[in-house]
A and B are shown apart, each in its own frame.
Chain A
Amino acid sequence: MEAAAAADVLPSGSSQELHVLAVDDSYVDRKVIEKLLKISSCKVTAVESGARALQFLGLDGEKGSLGFDGLKVNLIMTDYSMPGMTGYELLKKIKRSSAFREIPVVIMSSENILTRIDSCLEEGAEEFLVKPVKLSDVRRLMKDCVMRGETEGNNAGRRVDKRKFEDDNHTSSLSSSSSLTPSPPSTTAPFGGDVATSELVSSSPPHSSKRAKLHDGD
Chain B
Amino acid sequence: MERNPLRRQLQLMRKSLFDQGYLDEQFVQLEELQDDTNPNFVEEVVTLYYRDSARLVLNIEQALERKPYNFHKLDAYMHQFKGSSSSIGAKKVKAESTLFREYCKSGNGEGCMRCFQQLKKEYATLRKKLEAYFQVARQAGPMETACRPK
Contact = CB atoms under 8 A, between A and B. Distances in A.
A and B interact: yes
Interface string B49-61: 1001100000000
B5 interface: no
B33 A110 contact: no
B33 A135 contact: yes
A26 interface: yes
Given A1-B148, A31-B48, A135 B29 contact: yes
Interface residues of B, number: 24
Contact of B148 (A26, A32, A131, A135): A135
Nearest to B32: A135
B38 interface: yes
A36 B87 contact: no
B82 interface: yes
A28 interface: yes
B88 interface: yes
A32 B41 CA distance: 9
Given A28-B87, A35-B38, A110-B82, A132 B29 contact: yes
A41 B107 CA distance: 46
A81 B79 CA distance: 9
Contacts of A25: 80
Contacts of B45: 28, 31-32
B84 interface: yes
Contacts of A32: 30, 33, 45, 87
Contacts of A81: 79
Given A1-B149, A35-B33, A132-B26, A29 B87 contact: yes
Size category, A interface: 10 to 19
B83 A110 contact: yes
Contact of A28 (B38, B41, B88, B148): B88
Given A26-B84, A132-B86, A39 B48 contact: no
A170 B35 CA distance: 40
B149 A3 contact: yes
Given A26-B84, A110-B83, A131-B87, 14 more contacts: A1-B148, A26-B80, A27-B48, A27-B52, A28-B87, A31-B48, A32-B87, A35-B33, A35-B38, A110-B79, A110-B82, A131-B83, A132-B87, A135-B32
B36 interface: no
Interface string B74-101: 0000011011101110000000000000
A134 interface: yes
B65 interface: no
A18 B90 CA distance: 31
A36 B26 CA distance: 13
A29 B44 CA distance: 12
A148 to B, nearest CB: 24
Contacts of A1: 148-149
Interface string A13-51: 000000000000111110110011001000000000000
20 contacts: A3-B148, A25-B80, A28-B53, A31-B45, A31-B48, A32-B33, A32-B87, A35-B33, A39-B35, A39-B148, A110-B82, A110-B86, A131-B86, A131-B87, A132-B26, A132-B29, A132-B86, A134-B29, A135-B32, A135-B148
A145 B36 CA distance: 28
Contacts of B41: 35
Contacts of A132: 26, 29, 86-87
